[in-house]
Amino acid sequence: MGTNIRLVENPSRPLSVHPHKFALWLFIVSIVMIFASLTSAFIVKQGDGSWLDYNLPSMFWYTTAAIILSSALLQWGYFAARANQLKRLTVLVAITTLLGMVFLVGQWLAWGQLVDMEVYFVGNPAGSFVYVLSGLHAFHLLSGIIFLIVVFVSSLKHKIHSGNLVRMEMCVTYWHFLGALWVYLFVFLIFYH
């Protein structure tokens, strides 16, 4: 009885995801679930009646522009990292971080505009929801800024380059997600406020 032995030149590799990337995606899914439930609750509560009619703060337009621009610049930074253009990477991550901070300051100023329009956190649920949605997003954006600072320091130490992109890829994914989430929330508020 002979044994048949087969040599496989290119064995198929099982699909795998870096464990940190997998954890990030689980975190993103949990954030999506939180905001999906909040926006659903918003729509349900709005149907109860006695809903305050107000204009969205004009500052939301500026913060939306800042987050979209920051996302584009970080993507450019990722391309710079892939091409080993480390100085460009560092500059683009720094500018993205500053734009993230501009976004947070803008959201604070938007809350001031809401107060000026007599839309408060306590009182009518219409006001409560806009504060909760924008505030919870700002909290997550703050975590994104911390991630950007970590990437910035890593880029200064030349730890991010074409051979080591996992941290950069995760940061870009999370930042794009936060930008897309804000655009969703802003459009949602435009149609349902």
pLDDT for 40 equals 95
Is residue 124 one of the residues assigned to a domain?
yes
Instruction: State yes or no: pLDDT of 157 exceeds 70.
Output: yes
Is residue 45 one of the residues assigned to a domain?
no
Is residue 34 one of the residues assigned to a domain?
no
Strand-pair partners of 161: 164
The pTM of the full predicted model, rounded to 2 decimals, is: 0.89
Instruction: State yes or no: pLDDT of 45 exceeds 60.
Output: yes
Strand-pair partners of 164: 161
CATH of the domain at 162: 1.20.120.80
| Distance from C-alpha of 166 to C-alpha of 177, rounded to nearest angstrom | 16
What own/partner pairs with CB < 8 Å and gap ≥ 24 does 161-167 have?
A: 161/81, 161/84, 161/86, 162/81, 162/82, 162/83, 162/84, 165/78, 165/81, 165/82, 166/18, 166/20, 166/21
Is residue 118 one of the residues assigned to a domain?
yes
Is residue 15 one of the residues assigned to a domain?
no
* pLDDT tens per residue across span 76-118: 999 999 999 999 999 999 999 999 999 999 999 999 999 999 9
* Number of domains the chain contains: 1
Percentage of the chain beyond pLDDT 70 is 92
Is residue 10 one of the residues assigned to a domain?
no
Domain range for 174: 58-192
Helices vs. strands in the chain: H and E counts, helices first: 5, 0
